[in-house]
Amino acid sequence: MSIEQEKPADTPKPVSKLGNFFITLYHVFGFIGRFFKEAFLPPYEFKELMRQCYEIGYRSALLISTTGFITGLVFTKQSRPSLSEFGATSWLPSLVGIALLRTLAPLLTGLIAAGKVGSSIGAELGSMKVSEQIDAMEVSATNPFKFLVATRVLAATITMPILTFYTAMVGMLGALLNVSVNEGTSATTFFQSALENITFLDIIASTIKAIIFGFTIAIVGCYQGYHSSKGTEGVGKAANSAVVTAMFLIFVEEVVCVQIFSLFNT
């Protein structure tokens, strides 16, 4: 009697890319929702929060200082020929002040933090995931999400506005150097002209954008690191994905914020 050959079981169809996108989106929003749940419920990790604020500011201070100073210097130098054609070089301080505070400072700080802080958070949490340190924290009755994720996201959200205004200040110093050398403008006159057309709405808009950028950088870095795959390759992918995704989202958020705040300026 011949033995009938069993038919292979029907293999499930691969999930489409659109399906994978919505599944990932579901996990991301679940991750964000868990953050808001864990961040504002006791117990609070104040000591770790302060340490993360120091780490984020310390890691970014030197690079932000250098980049901000050069940005202000170069922006002023490149803007002078256009204004000089109309005899309006006296508008340089005002132009630099508006450009830095409204757009350049938040965007520049966000991109630097995405590369410096975002990659660090992704790699750090990814290595902890691979070495099973996160699992060990759960076994020892410690809430790893609150200690590792909530503190880092809150620290980045708090620190980014401070770094943004610091970038604007350093950028104005670079612009002051260029204007002083070429026009002989004093520091008092420069800052009076630079801040003359700055409105309260500009400060609020920059602060809100900095908060959004800081939250985005940290939550993306934490998500990528917290869900990294096993092995050292997964750590590298987590750090790389954190930087690329955060930078892309920062540009998208910048466009959206500009459109929203422009409605209030009309």
Q: What is the pLDDT of residues 95-144, one digit of tens each?
A: 888 889 888 999 999 999 998 888 888 888 888 888 878 878 877 777 88
215-224: pLDDT as tens digits: 999 999 999 9
Q: pLDDT class for 80, splitting at 50, 70, 90?
A: confident
Q: What is the pLDDT of residue 135?
A: 77
Which residue reads 């691969």 in tokens? 14
Taking Cα atoms as reference points, which of 44, 36, 39, 50 lies closest to residue 155? 50
Mean pLDDT across 50-78: 89
- In sequence order, which residues have a C-beta less than 8 Å from that of residue 96 and are 6 or more positions away? 72, 75, 76, 79, 171, 172, 175, 194
Distances, alpha carbon 222 to alpha carbons 82, 110, 111, in Å: 44, 16, 17
Least confident of 62-71, 179-188, 239-248: 179-188
Which residue reads 């340490």 in tokens? 51
Mean pLDDT across 152-162: 93
Least confident of 145-154, 156-165, 185-194: 185-194
Q: What is the pLDDT of residue 227?
A: 83
pLDDT at 20 over 50: yes
Q: What is the pLDDT of residue 154?
A: 94
